[in-house]
Structure 1
């Protein structure tokens, strides 16, 4: 049988479809849904209603946008990066000996473009509605040919698009609630190579989710925001293809639940120039106990990976400074805790705790148009890996290829540069 972890790739990538990315955000999440909030390290993203992109994090925020109907569109660009150095230890069937192949690979996290767009339309003094399109989850990993872990994973490409309809009700000048209904589509492509045999998996799925939030102006200068994002239920159906001499195609499925998320934000205006924000986000990553890819034909386990992830916290602080009539400057910091440890890290999810250092600016181009610019430097903590093939507990027979599959071990080191631009237009 072709290496079973090929299908684990499916699990890894699809999971990304609900909260992953190698250097963008911890676990399988991605934060790049706005250039304006990127500038403050995402601090205040649930309390500071500065443009239409707040609907992705707190749907209640669209009630407090000023200026009537408005649109926000933009893109964040995540540059390539990543470094691995290590070895693969295995039993060579041909020679009957234990062997070790060592190597180093760089820039396996490929440049990715993350687009987003939002439209907000006030209906009356109470009701405001919105429509949003954004890519909340995704990853592009492509290790170089011949790297020591190519049997565990070569290319991982995941594209996710969310379409969200939002409604917000403003009880009074100081309090609003909002609800967003989300339709999510995920598509993944995963490849790997073992003993000269190429394998690939492609699959997709659709799911419904929702978010809910509230915003309260505690005082003239202080605003609190609270938002909850529901879990996502995916049953991804895909196809596993193998090159010669197998030349076969097998249907596989993966059922997985993406964790819920709770965030709280505060925004405080110090004076006419300075504003400070803070944000805390909790994600229930402990839902990730295992990945189990099964045959669509007989339901038997084809690939099993124990995850054993932990719940995480993300903490951010940010500030903005009104320089003059045209320019608003921003800066922020975020500590993003990873659910992955040295014991649970894999080739498909080489995650680690990360520190974000961000800067941004907003230019008022005219009375009805302004432009956001943002930059972030993201540094992941170095982490080690020791990954082997796993057999589902229900399986009693060890696959013949297990001795040759071996173990990949080594160290990951990574950082990333992110640039964002966003146009905000008032109609």
Structure 2
């Protein structure tokens, strides 16, 4: 069966899908799920292996090595999970539920990419994807509701990309990004009083990359992604025993990162890939929501550390229609038992991934992917910080316990060559 797709329909669908994002936590607040094809190899080779238009998000130079005008549209689905078992020690007396499950919500991460060559050297593209985000929603009455209920941070990038081939084996690329963030924080600090803080912001950012085909079989790539320095403005709303609304602001930095990738084709069937990504999470020092007078109304010290994500992957050309993939990634967390919080119950994680690509026609192929992600168990002992000056509020008590979590991720992606 032959398929024909209209360019405007594909492009509109890609942008629309990428703007309807529900997020799940990756290491830190990062999101890797920007492609089903790279998910299949544990994201190994994502900055060197130009297999489809989704390389726009990881290395803008990669679009120079794609064949013709093409689009990639897809979605990754992360199933709910996560469990906490513990209690609140000290005042106030009620401990809350000692066991809380599935606070990480089932989330959809759509993405869309469109690439068109201008001539033999210049290629341009448009992309929509999610680089950062988190969606936690604890059940009412859980042991840490005084510190946090819902934590939602949504970041969506709309990127224009240009790539130039200096030689047949070398290209560089640049992406100009409009990045939009929306945040929502809820908690129940004093009995029957509920607080909700929300806000948003839009800024410009950029990324840059290069790819070199060292030999016919070996390709290396590197890319740099600028930090996202947001200043969210919105409202703090109280409901229940107390009511009222006031204007608040939150400075939020999503950090820069650097990717290094290599791809090597062993023969006509086997290809191996590797990737190392460094993220400067030490920029993320705090959640500090302030009101119009500059006073802190909600403060959470983060004090994260820089991280590395290391991955290895492979693909096997089974026949003319089926390509099989597998990969592994170690994803280092920016937190440990000393600075874990209810708004970032993160831990080092191991990714085990599998994928396949089905060629359905000369113009179209479909990627399928699955990942099992296991987080290391992590302990928490968090008290309510009173503000940047230091100290804690003993009236909140201390949440102590242990987090356990794993995730199942499914991805699908349609690639079409015009």
Q: TM-score, normalized by length of structure 2?
A: 0.92
Measured in 2, the distance between the counterparts of 1:162 and 1:108 equals 26
Cα distance in 2 between the residues matched to 1:305 and 1:43:
34
After TM superposition, list the pairs within 5 Å mapping 1:10-49 onto structure 2. 23=25, 25-49=26-50
Greater mean deviation of Cα atoms: 328-337 or 196-205: 196-205
| Alpha-carbon contact 1:90-1:99 (below 8 Å) kept | no
Report whether the alignment pairs 1:346 with 2:341: yes
Is 1:89–1:99's contact at 8 Å kept on the other side of the alignment?
no
Structure 2 counterpart of 1:53: 54
Measure, in 2, the Cα distance between the counterparts of 1:166 and 1:341. 37
2:215 aligned with 1:214: no
Query: What residue number does 1:226 align with?
Result: 222
State whether structure 2 residue 300 is matched by structure 1 residue 305.
yes
Matched, 1:156 2:157: no
1:80 is displaced (CA, Å) by 0.3
| Structure 1 residue 304: Cα displacement | 2.6
Alignment partner, residue 260 of structure 2: 264
Q: Which of 98, 109, 115 in structure 2 is aligned with 1:114?
A: 109
For 2:138, the equivalent position in structure 1 comes to: 143
Provide the rounded CA distance (Å) in 1 between the counterparts of 2:299 and 2:134: 21
* Matched position secondary structure for 1:268: strand
CA-to-partner distance for each residue in 1:215-250, whole Å, 9 max, x for gaps? 000001000000000111110112111113321011
Structure 1 CA distance for aligned equivalents of residues 399 and 264 of structure 2: 49
Number of corresponding residues: 396
> SS of 1:37's equivalent?
helix
Task: Give the superposition deviation at 1:189.
Answer: 2.3
In the TM superposition, 1:88-99 aligns within 5 A as: 88-92=88-92
Pairwise CA distance, 1:145: 1.5
Q: Which runs of 4+ in 1 moved over 6 A?
A: none
> How far off its partner does 1:190 sit?
2.4
Structure 1: how far apart are the matches of 2:173 and 2:50? 13
Q: Which residue of 2 aligns with 1:174?
A: 169
Higher relative contact order (CA 8 A, sep 6+): 1
Cα offset, 1:100, TM superposition = 4.6
Question: Kindly tell me: are residues 42 and 86 of structure 1, through their superposed partners in 2, closer, same or farther at Cα, counting changes over 3 Å?
Answer: same
> Equivalent residue for 1:69?
69
Q: Which residue, out of 388, 411, 414, partners 1:420?
A: 411
CA contact (8 A) 1:234 1:256 kept: yes
- Distance change (3 Å), C-alpha of 1:89 and 1:102: farther
Structure 2 unmatched runs, 5+: 1-21
Distance 1:109 1:256 in 2: 21
| d(CA) in 1 for partners of 2:206, 2:305 | 23
Q: Distance in 1 between matches of 2:388 and 2:260?
A: 40
SS in structure 1 of the partner of residue 90 of structure 2: strand
Structure 1: 5+ residue stretches without partners = 1-19, 93-97
Is residue 89–residue 101 contact of structure 1 (8 Å, CA) maintained in 2?
no
Paired with 1:394 and 1:346, the residues of 2 have a C-alpha distance of 19
Match of residue 386, structure 1, among 381, 385, 388: 381
- RMSD (Å) for aligned C-alpha atoms: 1.6
**Which residue number in structure 1 is paired with residue 119 of structure 2?**
124
The separation in 1 between residues aligned to 2:301 and 2:152, in whole angstroms, is: 22
**Quick check: 2:259–2:277 contact (8 Å CA) kept in 1?**
yes
Q: Give TM-score scaled by structure 1 length.
A: 0.90
Helix, strand or coil: the match of 1:53? helix
Q: Give 1:200 deviation, angstroms.
A: 1.0
Q: C-alpha deviations, 1:146-185, integer Å up to 9, x for none?
A: 1111111112233322100000000111000000001011
